[in-house]
Structure 1
Amino acid sequence: MDNKNWGIIATWRMAFDGITEGATMLQDNKSATDAVLTAVTRVEDYPYYKSVGYGGLPNEKGVVELDAAFMDGTTMALGAIASVKDVANPILVAEKLSRERFNSFMVGEGAEQWAFEQGFEKKEMLTERAQQHYIKRCRETLYRGLSPYTGHDTVGIAALDLDGNISVGTSTSGLFMKRPGRVGDSPVSGSGYYADSDIGAATATGLGEDLMKGCISYEIVRRMGEGMTPQQAADSTVNDLEKKLIARYGRAGDLSVVCINKDGDFGAATNIDSFSFSVETSKHPATIYVCERKGSETHYSPATQEWLDAYQARITAPIE
Structure 2
Amino acid sequence: MNGITMDVGAVAAMRYVKDGIKAAKLVMEHTEHTLIVGEKASIFAISMGLQGPSNLSSPESLEKWIRWRASSCQPNFRKNISPTNGCGPYHLTDRCDKNLSEDDIFAASRANSVLFNRHNHDTISMAAIDKAGRIAVGTSTNGATFKIPGRVGDGPIAGSPAYADDEVGACGATGDGDIMMRFLPCYQAVESMRQGMEPSHAAANAISRIAFKYPDFIGAVFAVNKMVSMPGLAMDGRSNTQ
Into which bin does the TM-score normalised by the smaller protein fall? 0.7 to 0.9
Name 2:75's counterpart in structure 1. Answer: 147
Structure with a larger share of its residues in strand: 1
Letter in 2 for 1:196: D
Alignment of 1:1-320 (within 5 A): 71-122=1-52, 123-141=54-72, 146-148=74-76, 149-150=115-116, 151-243=120-212, 245-246=213-214, 253-265=217-229, 266-271=231-236, 296-299=239-242
Letter in 1 for 2:221: V
Contact 1:191 1:214 in 2 (8 A): yes
Contact 1:210 1:252 in 2 (8 A): no
Q: Distance in 2 between matches of 1:153 and 1:113?
A: 24
Letter in 1 for 2:232: G
- Which one scores higher on RCO, CA 8 angstroms, separation ≥ 6? 1
Letter in 1 for 2:123: T
Q: Distance in 2 between matches of 1:107 and 1:97?
A: 11
Whichever of the two has the greater Rg, that structure is: 2
* Number of corresponding residues: 199
Per-residue deviation, residues 102-125 of structure 1 (Å, max 9, x unmatched): 233100011111111111111321
| Distance verdict in 2 for CA 1:221–1:267, change over 3 Å | same
Which ranges in structure 1 are unaligned for 5 or more consecutive residues? 1-70, 273-292, 300-320
Contact 2:128 2:135 in 1 (8 A): yes
Letter in 2 for 1:298: T
Which ranges in structure 2 are unaligned for 5 or more consecutive residues? 77-114
Mean Cα deviation higher: 193-202 or 123-132: 123-132
Q: Kindly state the Cα deviation for residue 252 of structure 1 after the two structures are TM-superposed.
A: 5.1
Q: Distance in 2 between matches of 1:141 and 1:268?
A: 38
Per-residue deviation, residues 252-307 of structure 1 (Å, max 9, x unmatched): 532311222111121111225xxxxxxxxxxxxxxxxxxxx5xx5424xxxxxxxx
Contact 2:125 2:139 in 1 (8 A): yes
TM norm structure 2? 0.77
SS in 2 for 1:138: helix
Name 1:275's counterpart in structure 2. Answer: none
Q: Distance in 1 between matches of 2:210 and 2:67?
A: 34
SS in 1 for 2:39: helix
Contact 1:153 1:206 in 2 (8 A): no
SS in 2 for 1:78: coil
Structure 1 moving runs of 4+ over 6 Å: none
State the identity %. Answer: 34
Q: Distance in 2 between matches of 1:134 and 1:207?
A: 20
TM norm structure 1? 0.59
Q: Distance in 1 between matches of 2:135 and 2:72?
A: 43
